[in-house]
Structure 1
Amino acid sequence: MKKLLSLATMVILAVSVLAGCGGNGDSSTGSTGSTTAAGKFDSTKDITVISREASSGTRGAFDEIMGLIEKSGNSEVNKLFSEAVIASSTDEVPAKVEVDKYAIGYTSIGAVNDSVKALKVDGVEATEENVKNGTYKVSRPFIIASKGEASGIAADFIQYATSTQGQEIVKSLGFVTIDGAKEYTAPSTALSGKLILSGSTSTEKVIEKLREEYVKLNPGVSIEVTYNGSGAGIKDAQEGKSQLALSSRELKDEEKAALTPTVFANDGIAVIVNKDNTTTEMTTEQIKKVFTGEVRTWDKV
C-alpha cells in the first residue's frame, strides 16, 4: 500500500512539473512567434484588416503607395480586401487596433500613440525625421486648396499656415515642416468675417491649433471647419460650399484644374498593429498582400 501511495505521489509531482513548464501546449513557430498559450499572440489567427472610408485622403495616399489601385481599361479598380473593417476617422483606426490583437491598420504618424505599435516599412521607421529625409516612403502632403487663387482671409490664413509661426505648430504636433517658411505679420488693416474650411480628418489636430492661434492674431475673424474627408472637402471647395479644402493626399489632375493647392505640412502614414503582435516590420509587398486579402494569417507574412 505504501508503495502504491509513493508511486501515485511521484506521478502527481511529475504532472505538476510538466504543467509548470508550459506542458499545456505553448509552442512557437514562424517569424512572428506563434503561440497558443492563453493571452499570448497566436500568429495562425486570421488578420483583421482595418482601412479608411473611400473619401479619406489617407486611404487614397495609402492605396496608391501600396499598389492597391489597379487600372482596368479606362477605370480604376481598388483591390482592398472585401472583408476589411472600415474606420471613419483618423483616430478610429488606432482605437480599433488597440482592442484587436490580430488587427493591422494605418494612420497619420501624428495619430500614433502608446496604445499601438508602428511597424518599420522596408526596414525604415515611421518617424518625422525619416519622412523629412525621404527614407520613409509611405508619406503624403497636407494641402490647403482654394478655388482659383485665394484672396482675403483665405489667402491670409494660408500665409499663416505656411509661416514660421505656423510651421512651429506643425512641428510641435509631430508632423513634418515645409521649407522656405517666412514670418507672419497680421495685416495692418484688421480683417473681419468668416472663413469656411472642410476636408481631411487627418489634418484636424494641426488645423485646430492653427485656427486657434490665427484668431488670436486676427480677433475679427471666425473660422468654421468641417472634417468630412479629403474627397468631400475638395468637392465642397469646387462647388463653392467652402473657401478652402483640406486634403491629406495629392490633388488629382482634374481637381487641380479647378483648385489651387498649397502644401502646409507633410506626414508619414504609419502601418500599425496591436502591441501584443510580435511582428516588428513588413515590406510594402507584404503589406499589399495583407490588404488585398492574399495573405490572411500572421504566420504567412
Structure 2
Amino acid sequence: MKLKKVIAVAGVCAMVTGMIAGCGNNSSDTSSDSSSDSKTEASSDWDASNDISVVSREDGSGTRGAFIELFGIEEKNGDEKVDNTTDEAQITNSTSVMLTTVAGDDYAIGYVSLGALDDSVKAVKIDGAEATADNVKSGDYKVSRPFNIATKEGSESELAKDFISFILSKEGQAVVAENGYISDDNAEPFSGSNPSGKIVVGGSSSVSPLMEKLIEAYKENNPDAEIELQTTDSTTGMTSAIDGTYDIGMASRELKDTELSEGLKAQVIATDGIAVIVNKNNTIDELSSDQVKSIYTGETLTWDEVAK
C-alpha cells in the first residue's frame, strides 16, 4: 500500500526590524493555508489503483453463510454447496473484529449486521439502495436475513419458554426495533409467569448484542431469572442447542436441514440487513451485487475496476 504524501511548507522572513509584525501576520496566514491544503491532500489521497483488501468471516459464521448465499458467492455443485470466497480474504472471527479491521485499512471491504453498524466505517449502497432498517422492511434493500433462536424440542425449561415468550411479545419486539432491527408489528403484549432458574443462551456474534438487550429487558420483569449469554457462532449455537450445552441457540441464518433433523425448533426473533462496509476514506459510495460477488470471488482485484 502506498505511503501517504507529507507536504512541508517553509517560509523565510527577512530580518528587518520594521517588518517583524508583518512577517508574523504572513506566517499565520501561511500556516492557515498550509493546514487547509493538508486537509485537501488527505481527503484526495485515497488511490483507487490499490489492491482491494477482502475481509470475510470465519467458517461457521451465520453472517458469512447468509452473505455468500445472498450474493451468489456460494454455488451448488451437485448436492454440495461450494463457497467461492477468494483464498486471499483475511478472516475475522467476530463482528467487532470485522469493524476494527475495515476501519484500520483504507482499502478494505467487509460486511456486518446492520444493527451492529457504527460510524467507524462506511456502508455502501447496494444496487442503489441504502442499508437501512426502513429499506430492509420495504424490500428496497434486499441483502437481509433472519435472526433465529432454536431449542431442542421437548427439552425447554419453564424459564426458557417464558424468556422466548418475552422475546416474541410486543415488549420484546420493541427492544428489537429500538436496536435497529426489523420487528414483528403484530406481536401481542407479554404475560409471563416469571419462573426462577438458570438458562444458557449462546451462538451467533451478530445476534448476541441484540440478545444482551433482550436479556436486560426481560430481567426487569423477572429479576429472579439467571440468563448466561455466550458468544460463539451460529453453527456452535445450533450444535450446542442439540447436545444440551445451550438451552437456547442463536443463529444469524436459516437453520440447515441437518440441524432441524436433530430435533431443533427455530423461531425468527428479528430480521436484519447485512451492510457491506468500506473504510471511511474510500471514495466509493455504491456497488452492485455483481461487483460485490466479483470482489469476493477474487475476479476484481483493485478498486479502480469498480470505481465510477
Offset, 1:141: 0.7
State yes or no: 1:255 paired with 2:259. Answer: yes
State yes or no: 1:191 paired with 2:191. Answer: no
Map Cα deviations across residues 118-172 of structure 1 (whole Å, 9 max, x no partner). 0110111100001111111110111111111545111111110111111111111
Instruction: Output aligned runs, 1:219-238, within 5 Å.
Output: 219-238=223-242
Instruction: Output aligned runs, 1:120-269, within 5 Å.
Output: 120-149=125-154, 150-187=156-193, 190-257=194-261, 258-269=263-274
Alignment equivalent of 1:66, drawn from 63, 71, 95: 71
Residue matched to 1:11: none
CA distance in 1, matches of 2:60, 2:258: 16
Partner SS, residue 278 of structure 1: coil
Give yes or no for contact 1:144–1:263 (8 Å, CA) kept in 2: yes
CA distance in 2, matches of 1:83, 1:218: 48
Residue matched to 1:290: 295
- Worse-matched range after superposition: 43-52 or 251-260: 251-260
Offset, 1:186: 2.7
Residue matched to 1:48: 53
CA distance in 1, matches of 2:240, 2:43: 50
- TM-score, normalised with respect to structure 1: 0.85
Residue matched to 1:119: 124
State yes or no: 1:104 paired with 2:104. Answer: no
CA distance in 1, matches of 2:202, 2:42: 48
- Worse-matched range after superposition: 228-237 or 217-226: 217-226
Give unpaired runs (5+ residues) of structure 1. 1-19, 21-35
The one-letter code sitting in structure 2 at the alignment partner of 1:192 is: S
Offset, 1:255: 1.6
Residue matched to 1:33: none
Residue matched to 2:12: none
The alpha-carbon distance between structure 1 residues 113 and 145, as it changes in their structure 2 partners (threshold 3 A), is same
CA distance in 2, matches of 1:224, 1:241: 12
The one-letter code sitting in structure 2 at the alignment partner of 1:251 is: L
Give yes or no for contact 2:102–2:108 (8 Å, CA) kept in 1: yes
Offset, 1:38: 9.2
Map Cα deviations across residues 27-64 of structure 1 (whole Å, 9 max, x no partner). xxxxxxxxx98961100100000000111111110011
CA distance in 1, matches of 2:108, 2:222: 45
Q: Where in structure 1 do 4 or more consecutive aligned residues deviate above 4 Å?
A: 36-39
Number of residues paired by the alignment? 266
Give unpaired runs (5+ residues) of structure 2. 1-32, 34-40
The one-letter code sitting in structure 1 at the alignment partner of 2:134 is: E
The one-letter code sitting in structure 1 at the alignment partner of 2:192 is: A
Q: Percent identity among equivalent residues?
A: 46
Give yes or no for contact 1:173–1:205 (8 Å, CA) kept in 2: no
The one-letter code sitting in structure 1 at the alignment partner of 2:229 is: V
CA distance in 1, matches of 2:157, 2:138: 33
Partner SS, residue 76 of structure 1: strand
Offset, 1:76: 2.1
